[in-house]
Structure 1
Amino acid sequence: MNDSYLQFVNSPFGARLARSLGLPRPEVLRRYRADRPEFEGLVAIGGGREPRLFDALANLVASIGVTSVAHASAGLWVPLATRHGLLTGRFEAAEPGSPGRLAALLFDASGIEDSSQLAPLYQFFHDTLRSLGKCGRIVVLGRPPQACASPRQASAQRALEGLTRSLGKEAGRGSTANLVYVAQGAESGVEATLRFFLSPRSAYVSGQVVSIDAGGAGDTGGAHAPPAFGWAQPLAGRRALVTGAARGIGASIASVLAAEGAHVIGIDIPSARDALDATMRQLNGTALAFDIAAPEAAAQIAAALDELGVDIVVHNAGITKDKTIAKMTEAAWQSVIDINLSAQERIDDALLGAGILRDGGRIIGVSSISGIAGNRGQTNYATSKAGVIGRVQSMAPSLRARGITINAVAPGFIETQMTAKIPLAIREAGRRMNSMSQGGQPVDVAQTIAWLAHPGSAGVTGQVVRVCGQSLIGA
């Protein structure tokens, strides 16, 4: 579905008219394309008191091949970068009104232990934000507040959330801002997450807080150490199950996972068999026509996968049957709960119980912003999607023993056939009420899932990541 307003105000005539009338002009987001460099431009580095993640950042900068410039707050960066053989320089503020010259802003706040030590954050972003270019990236790194040694340290680290979410709303021009909490001992497991948040793959992910724990993030040995992979096709040799894969977001998820090297097994209802076959044929994948609402479906899926097993399970299938609860039938309530939530439970029980989902695997559920904020006329849908979040948060600790991660994505307004049927006024509100002032694309959800499925994301579990352009609705 096309956003006619976005296209118009970014045309030569539309841009002039928007400027003259003072109309908002959403930026055309830069999304990942295989024929364009994923990383380029200057990255400004800043740091608070005793930054403890500079070594990890130096490894990242060297790996993605960008040039760094050090802000005055990052006094230790230049000698460290020199030891790593990196091209680096000193940051010089741009003149007010001059075009942005920075591709990304990275700030290491991991050493901040008291609110009195937050001043370098002001200094860094005060000096650098006006130099950030279109579709720029802001990433702040800290320590998980719940693991801090003192209430003062926890308070200072928790303060980073308010800062980062505010930066996402102030940066504009299609830029994003996200916060990554890195547990002590997980420093070597940050690269996959930082690559995602710095790349065009995260075009519609902003204002998010992600924690990386040490339970699997930095392991280089042991039974559940992340397997070897290449950055070009990190999922090569892995098998991925995607439900609701015939079309829409599900087809996009399947396509991105296949592009990352996975063999995709797509599931959809028998009536969608033709579309499912066509989608899987394009990806050299496998099509399985099952109705996941059927009582026998979980056992059938497990039997179909038993011989080779699976490494990634993406629960994408879902339905809506919208009515206010006073007008909703019991059947409409039950069918939405069953397909959107209970079927996930049955499938996972079957795959985990039989060991078909291999140790070190990934489970990713598709929730929704409705499951976080609720939505009028969607009590059944919001209940089911909140339940997906409950599964993720409750199952993560027990699955950790097998090296399996479980996470969820929560899409906001995504341009699909379903949202195309929403009345115009509500559709426009959904598009504009976020920091990007536009709807997302199915590929935005798919790229976020691919990051969570990545072998380098072993330390990311129990997380709920909104793909909503930093929606103004909900927390």
Structure 2
Amino acid sequence: MTTSDRYLAFANSAVGSRLADALGLPRPVPLERMPDYGDEVAEARAIHAPLAVVGGAGDAPLLPGLARELHWLGIPSLAHAGRLGWISYANKAGTMSGRFNANEGVRPKALLFDASAIADTGALASLYTFFHDTLASLDRCGRVLVLGLPPSIAATPHASTAQRALEGFVRSLAKELRRGATAQLLYIAPRARESLHSTLRFFLSPRAAYVSGQAITLQNPVFETPPMRDRRPLAGQVAVVTGAARGIGEAIATVLARDGAHVVCVDIPAAQDALSTVATRLDGSALACDITSPEAGATLIAHLSAHAPQGLDILVHNAGVTRDKTLVRMSDAQWQSVLDINVGAPQRLNSALLDAGALRAGSRVVGVASISGIAGNRGQTNYATSKAAVIGMVEAWSPILAERQISINAVAPGFIETKMTAAVPFAIREAGRRMNSLGQGGQPVDVAEAIAWLAHPASGALTGQVVRVCGQSLLGA
């Protein structure tokens, strides 16, 4: 961990676990995350769920494609009693499957349910049946995925109503899960059915350790999905990460480099030494640049011309600051600097890169927002305004960039263990750690893994999304 969560360690010790159980105290489970890059054996073992149980409602049209994806991901499966047709789908795809029997003591790591054919609220009972039968068997740090149809394109008002109901079900179920398990809802448009791979790869692995209770929509892909390549999927691509000298930015740069990208690490001149260290370690390049300066766009474009003349594939707007004060005590400079760094500069960089043609077709832009921009936070009117504006930037730019075959999304971190949060007063820090469904703070790598998923070449069906990396924070939920 970046900082020490002593309660998490104590509650999972031999003595601490007994005491926590006796006193009825929460006992958060240490989350499974991807191993350090370079340990290929450990990485191969950790990548995907070792066993999934699959079910569905009605004709469950997503199941044949899901069978192919599980085969490609190397995930064996079992069929729920109400979906024995799954066995033939799985076997045809090349993955042998059998029937799930809770009485046999099987511990699946994933539960997947195709709810896309539910056409009225009465049929929602199929969700109850499947999860009532399987949930108690879910393994430690298990994954629950419900697959639905975007309500806006459902055939009837009754179907739209039922599909919208899935959000309440999944968000509530995620809050009932224990032992580090998570739940997500994936709304999948018909034309996105062939673009599931990167999303399943993310959510069925330790990459998604600190993401839970999210509703994600896969739309018509804004760019063509390339041939499958999971090992170093970003090889040959160029990524720019602002604020890369430390903390979350360093983690983002590290994960993108792990996945094969050449990373241009950008940070302020005062961070030159740390920035150069990061860039050298990642075999990337360093650009010391104040992104708020009028020349920042031209400086970045010149650097790309020299170091990555083929163009830019991934742009991550991570640089950000806080200047916390209640509004009546906040100076004009504290207001202006936060807004300019956190959202003004990213918009200017977007425009400069687009005008110069540096963001080519197939590029991905990712902003770093915050749950503060969703729920608000006392003493952060400037910061919350700027992060809500990042979300607004994603919503406003997504249809414009889609016409150029470019996607734009954002992640919204919650309480992440960094040097900044380590300086927060103890009581506030503990509240931040515990006020989520997983009962602990996240790690910088959790934000980085979510960004790597959005940046994956097969994530063309994801645009205009804001994904909370917050362990399903109880704030703004």
Which interval holds the TM-score relative to the shorter structure? over 0.9
Q: CA deviation at 1:303?
A: 2.0
Task: Kindly report which structure 2 residues correspond to 1:7-86, keeping only aligned pairs within 5 A, or say none.
Answer: 7-33=9-35, 34=40, 35-36=42-43, 37=45, 38-86=47-95
Q: CA deviation at 1:12?
A: 1.8
Q: CA deviation at 1:456?
A: 0.6
Q: CA deviation at 1:20?
A: 2.5
The separation in 1 between residues aligned to 2:300 and 2:75, in whole angstroms, is 44
- C-alpha contact (below 8 Å) 1:246/1:275 kept by paired residues: yes
Does 14-23 or 375-384 show the bigger shift?
Answer: 14-23
Return the TM-score normalized by structure 1: 0.96
Return the TM-score normalized by structure 2: 0.96
Counterpart in 2 of 1:115? 121
- Residue type at the aligned position of 1:295: P
Task: Kindly report which structure 2 residues correspond to 1:30-429, keeping only aligned pairs within 5 A, or say none.
Answer: 30-33=32-35, 34=40, 35-36=42-43, 37=45, 38-94=47-103, 101-216=107-222, 224-306=223-305, 307-429=309-431
- C-alpha contact (below 8 Å) 1:52/1:111 kept by paired residues: yes
Percent of aligned pairs with the same residue? 57
Query: In structure 2, do the counterparts of structure 1 residues 355 and 467 end up closer, same or farther at CA, with 3 Å as the change threshold?
Result: same
- Residue type at the aligned position of 1:26: P
Q: CA deviation at 1:10?
A: 1.1
Q: CA deviation at 1:19?
A: 2.2
- C-alpha contact (below 8 Å) 1:94/1:130 kept by paired residues: no
Does 34-43 or 254-263 show the bigger shift?
Answer: 34-43
Counterpart in 1 of 2:449? 447
- C-alpha contact (below 8 Å) 1:229/1:455 kept by paired residues: no
- Residue type at the aligned position of 2:303: A
- Residue type at the aligned position of 1:85: G
- Residue type at the aligned position of 1:93: A
- C-alpha contact (below 8 Å) 2:338/2:382 kept by paired residues: yes
The separation in 2 between residues aligned to 1:181 and 1:405, in whole angstroms, is 18
How many residues align structurally? 465
- Residue segments in structure 1 that go unaligned for 5+ positions in a row: 217-223
Q: CA deviation at 1:229?
A: 5.0
The separation in 1 between residues aligned to 2:325 and 2:387, in whole angstroms, is 16
SS in structure 2 opposite 1:188? coil
Task: Summarize deviations over 1:404-426 as a string: whole Å, max 9, x none.
Answer: 10000000000001111111111
Output the aligned Cα RMSD: 1.2
Which of 8, 13, 34 matches 1:6? Answer: 8
The separation in 2 between residues aligned to 1:94 and 1:17, in whole angstroms, is 31
Task: Summarize deviations over 1:75-126 as a string: whole Å, max 9, x none.
Answer: 321222222232111111248xx7x711000000111111111111000000
The separation in 1 between residues aligned to 2:195 and 2:55, in whole angstroms, is 21
The separation in 2 between residues aligned to 1:405 and 1:94, in whole angstroms, is 46
The separation in 1 between residues aligned to 2:265 and 2:226, in whole angstroms, is 24
